[in-house]
Structure 1
Amino acid sequence: GGAFFKIFLNSATHVNLFDLPTPGTDDDPEDILRSNIINLVGLLRIMLGGLNPEEDSVIDEALTETYAVRDITAKSDPKTWKDNTPLMSDFVEILESMEGTDSLIKRLKKYIKGTFAGFFNQQSNISIEKNMTVFGIRDMEESLKPMALYIVMRYVWNTIRTKLKKRILVVDEAWWLMQSEDGASFLFGLAKRGRKYFLGVTTITQDVDDFMKSEYGKPIISNSSLQFLMKQSPATIDVVQKTFNLTEQEKYLLLDAAIGEGLFFAGKKHVALSVVASPTENQLITTAPEEVLKMKEAKRKLESPETE
């Protein structure tokens, strides 16, 4: 079976950005906490529109104190961490007890009061133990999508590190993360370290230009054992050609490619490939408006047959 979680501001699905992985027998709790705080600083840097060096230091100190107040430290029992996980509002309370934090507090208030609090200030209430789990952020406000994707991926990464088993993580519209240095760095770190935790990572993007503008774009591609390039626009084809060292013939193949056609790379070898979906697969995955309307109409007729 599987699960689908819709992520938006008023969703009943909650993911706490302060969640921690449970350290394994070979893990050092201090390393787990340190790594978690580094990732959180990166997320908060995105949420706050950047941090100056002084604010960066204050945020780091406040995060450490926020966990410590909840008895989450390198010396406490990791088995109790989950029940004591703090919220964003707890973090703001710690900032309020510190000097010179007025600007940070003002910028964070919107995440603990009002509409934003429904997503950013709640305890997690989900599980991803089923064979397939999908998080959908389509209905999240555009400006919040990079943060939502970062928070969801942090939750997934924590779960992966807590319980080792073979998994595949597919990140669609990965360019949302690549818009910021912290998001791109997190995605690269996950792709690079995933193998250690039996994790295979697939990144999908339609915006190659944004992806490659990041200093982590090419390393993420280089770290991938397989790549599949599909139809490209004239605006981005030169970047793609340079990145993948394509010939002129291959360049024009991608410019003229039909649905499902492209170039498949495996190591140093690559070949033209056409992927044809079966009728059943096509019904499941199609987003073509005319096909979607036909299926809805067919479903309506089945559910409401005309009486003679």
Structure 2
Amino acid sequence: MTRKRERTPPVETPASSLAAAAAPASVEVTPRFLRVGDGYAATLVVTGYPAEVGPAWLEPLLSWPGRLDLALHIDPIPAPVAAGRLRTQRARFESSRRADAAKGKLADPYVEAAADDAADLAERLARGVSKLFRVGLYLTVHARTEAELLEACSQVKAAAASTLIEVQPATWRHLSGWTTTLPLATDSLQMRRTMDTAALAAAFPLASADLPAPLPGDPASTGGVLYGINPDSQGIVWWDRWSQENYNSIVLARSGAGKSYFVKLDVLRNLFQGVRVAVVDPEDEYLRLADAVGGTIVRLGASGVKINPLDLPVGDNRPDVLTRRGLFLHTLITVLLAEAPPPGERAALDRAILQTYRQAGITADPATHHRAAPLLKDLTAVLDADGDPAATQLAARLAPWVHGSFAGLFDGPTTTRPDGHLIVWSLRQLPDELRTVGQLLALDAIWRSVDAPGRAGRSVRRLVVVDEAWLLMRDGEGAKFLFKMSKAGRKRNAGLSVITQDVADVLGTDLGQAVVANAATQVLLKQAPQAIDRVADAFGLTAGERRMLLSARVGRGLLISGPQRTAFEAISSRAEHGLATTKPSDLDDEETEL
């Protein structure tokens, strides 16, 4: 007699219950797609990669708005195996070279490039700088209907092509492709490509073309202004220069690239946050903006507008104020003469400066500093009366600025002492011979307001904008003045913004490079082909960034700050555009509407 053993029902494991709850009811396999439950899916395999990649080169695929599963399968190759494969590959390339040379054929450029890349990779592998990996990249596109799936696959292919990535459908293998992109750590397609460490790091899925957000635990940023839109990710580029290690910025671009437009937007948005702005404007580009926001305009060169370089700072009672004013006059005379005076003339000038102030009743005693300051003609009169031939020679060299064609700016007391939230120093009406001098006088007046002692605890932020800075950069003393402001502005809660289209004058001198090095915020817009090599060397641009700056349209550029860099395109509201544009067609349209 056999006893019938009772069977106990199997205990349902958590894994099986998860599969029952999450797995699709059915999977229908066709050559071109899968029908998974009530949806459709198709897998695309990446078969071709760009020759060079930058950070976040997969961002166009990761930011695609539809449902897309991207799987990156990585299999490290042991160093001995990688070295052996590279040795074999290099031997094949060398064999191809020798065979072509023996037959009298020209060298194949593709073979030459591949051989050079293999040699470079072998060297980095031997030094332990890089490692090799077998990498498979797969994309599964999902849609609700077959027609939508076809359209979605076309869009993904277009997004991949925008970064020079070639994709092919996994025809007859979509089931294997679907399981490959599931979180199962299984590569059922095994269509892989060898990559080194740098290329694989650039493909890291969590990388982004946008600026990094604050780390967990760090306080959120509360300041900053809108710079524009990131064309790679369509994210917002929001930047706070006042949270950097210094508050300076430099904007380099060729003529017509939109640098003044971008800077005017930056000025408007900083004014909105209570920043006091002073602008040195050589071409009257900021006058409409100043009129719109109630700013003050100082038109140097206009009738009746005088600047006395011997003025002492108002309210500055520091004991060395007269000495510092004398040093500035040495700088001014050097700029007027377009060269540093010889030692004899410099000594005579130093004596004459002190004597001129004494004759006006001004000494080192701060109680005398309220008296009327002498003029430049008084200084030349003292030089004439010195009796030293060097002093007489210097007085003769200064005659055009005192009695001649250029005397209109200096032949009277200062007519205006501007103050306000926005001050524009217009240089348009100055002749070319006086542009550099006028720019230096404007910067000196601005510096005196920045350096005023006891200024409300220096809590008010100030931004100094120097447009067309090449006018000062080409002059040694003017470049020194800019360098001084870039170094000392941070301690006075002030930032310097240098804008120029002449890259050679900025990067071709030690002082110009020092100004760039002291700018924590660096903005590059479209560059000329003749200057791109120097710009690329100075800012460490990649090949892709070089191409972007050469072909960038107006208003599009690159923001660099230390290790952080991102592309952006300046955007503006209609009101901002009306104040920032200088295009005659836009201005005509505004007048027509008015």
Same fold per TM (> 0.5)?
yes
Indicate the residue corresponding to 1:122 in structure 2: 412
Is 1:246 paired with 2:541? yes
Give me the CA root mean square deviation.
1.8
Which whole-Å deviations, capped at 9, do the CAs of 1:232-280 have from their partners, x for residues lacking one?
A: 1112111111111111111111111111111101232111111112221
Summarize the Cα distance change of 1:83–1:2 in structure 2 as closer, same or farther, 3 Å threshold: farther
Indicate the residue corresponding to 2:311 in structure 1: 19
Is 1:34 paired with 2:34? no
- Give the SS at the match of 2:482: helix
Which whole-Å deviations, capped at 9, do the CAs of 1:126-176 have from their partners, x for residues lacking one?
A: 223211111110221112101110011111212222252421111111111
Residue type of the partner of 1:46? V
Is 1:211 paired with 2:506? yes
Summarize the Cα distance change of 1:82–1:175 in structure 2 as closer, same or farther, 3 Å threshold: farther
Return the match for 1:7 from 300, 306, 318. 300
Preserved CA contact (<8 Å) 2:298 2:418: no
Q: How do residues 255-266 of structure 1 correspond to structure 2 at under 5 angstroms? A: 255-266=550-561
Preserved CA contact (<8 Å) 2:523 2:557: yes
Preserved CA contact (<8 Å) 1:18 1:87: yes
Is 1:227 paired with 2:522? yes
Return the match for 1:97 from 368, 379, 385. 385
Which whole-Å deviations, capped at 9, do the CAs of 1:172-210 have from their partners, x for residues lacking one?
A: 111111111110001110111112222211111111111
Residue type of the partner of 1:33? L
Summarize the Cα distance change of 1:55–1:84 in structure 2 as closer, same or farther, 3 Å threshold: same
Preserved CA contact (<8 Å) 2:558 2:566: yes
Q: Which runs of 5+ in 1 are unaligned?
A: 300-308
CA distance, structure 2, for counterparts of residue 196 and residue 123 of structure 1: 31
Is 1:147 paired with 2:442? no
Is 1:47 paired with 2:336? yes
Which whole-Å deviations, capped at 9, do the CAs of 1:78-102 have from their partners, x for residues lacking one?
A: 5x42432111011011101112123
Summarize the Cα distance change of 1:81–1:287 in structure 2 as closer, same or farther, 3 Å threshold: same
Higher-strand-fraction structure: 2
CA distance, structure 1, for counterparts of residue 591 and residue 370 of structure 2: 44
CA distance, structure 2, for counterparts of residue 171 and residue 275 of structure 1: 20
After superposing the two structures, state which structure 1 stretch, 194-203 or 142-151, moved more.
194-203
CA distance, structure 1, for counterparts of residue 400 and residue 536 of structure 2: 43
Is 1:157 paired with 2:447? yes
- Give the SS at the match of 1:216: helix
Which structure has the larger Rg? 2
| Segments ≥4 residues shifted beyond 4 Å | 22-25
After superposing the two structures, state which structure 1 stretch, 210-219 or 154-163, moved more.
154-163
CA distance, structure 1, for counterparts of residue 413 and residue 353 of structure 2: 17
Aligned length, in residue pairs: 293
- Give the SS at the match of 1:42: helix
CA distance, structure 1, for counterparts of residue 585 and residue 451 of structure 2: 43
After superposing the two structures, state which structure 1 stretch, 237-246 or 16-25, moved more.
16-25
Indicate the residue corresponding to 1:187 in structure 2: 482
Residue type of the partner of 2:349? I
Summarize the Cα distance change of 1:87–1:24 in structure 2 as closer, same or farther, 3 Å threshold: closer
CA distance, structure 2, for counterparts of residue 124 and residue 146 of structure 1: 19
Residue type of the partner of 2:366? D
- Give the SS at the match of 1:271: strand
Preserved CA contact (<8 Å) 1:37 1:63: yes
Is 1:170 paired with 2:465? yes
Indicate the residue corresponding to 1:304 in structure 2: none
Summarize the Cα distance change of 1:208–1:89 in structure 2 as closer, same or farther, 3 Å threshold: same
Return the match for 2:348 from 58, 78, 89. 58
TM-score (structure 1 length as normaliser):
0.89
Indicate the residue corresponding to 1:303 in structure 2: none
Return the match for 1:284 from 567, 579, 584. 579
CA distance, structure 1, for counterparts of residue 551 and residue 477 of structure 2: 35
CA distance, structure 2, for counterparts of residue 139 and residue 234 of structure 1: 33
Higher-helix-fraction structure: 1
Preserved CA contact (<8 Å) 2:296 2:419: no
Residue type of the partner of 1:234? P
Preserved CA contact (<8 Å) 1:15 1:152: no
User: How far has the Cα of 1:109 moved from its partner?
Assistant: 1.4
> Percent of aligned positions with the same letter in both sequences?
31
Indicate the residue corresponding to 1:72 in structure 2: 362
CA distance, structure 2, for counterparts of residue 176 and residue 211 of structure 1: 10
Preserved CA contact (<8 Å) 2:298 2:426: yes
Summarize the Cα distance change of 1:174–1:4 in structure 2 as closer, same or farther, 3 Å threshold: same
Indicate the residue corresponding to 2:401 in structure 1: 111
Which whole-Å deviations, capped at 9, do the CAs of 1:260-304 have from their partners, x for residues lacking one?
A: 1111012321111111122211111111122223323443xxxxx
- Give the SS at the match of 2:448: helix
Preserved CA contact (<8 Å) 2:406 2:434: no
TM-score (structure 2 length as normaliser):
0.47
Preserved CA contact (<8 Å) 1:174 1:205: yes
User: How far has the Cα of 1:20 moved from its partner?
Assistant: 2.0
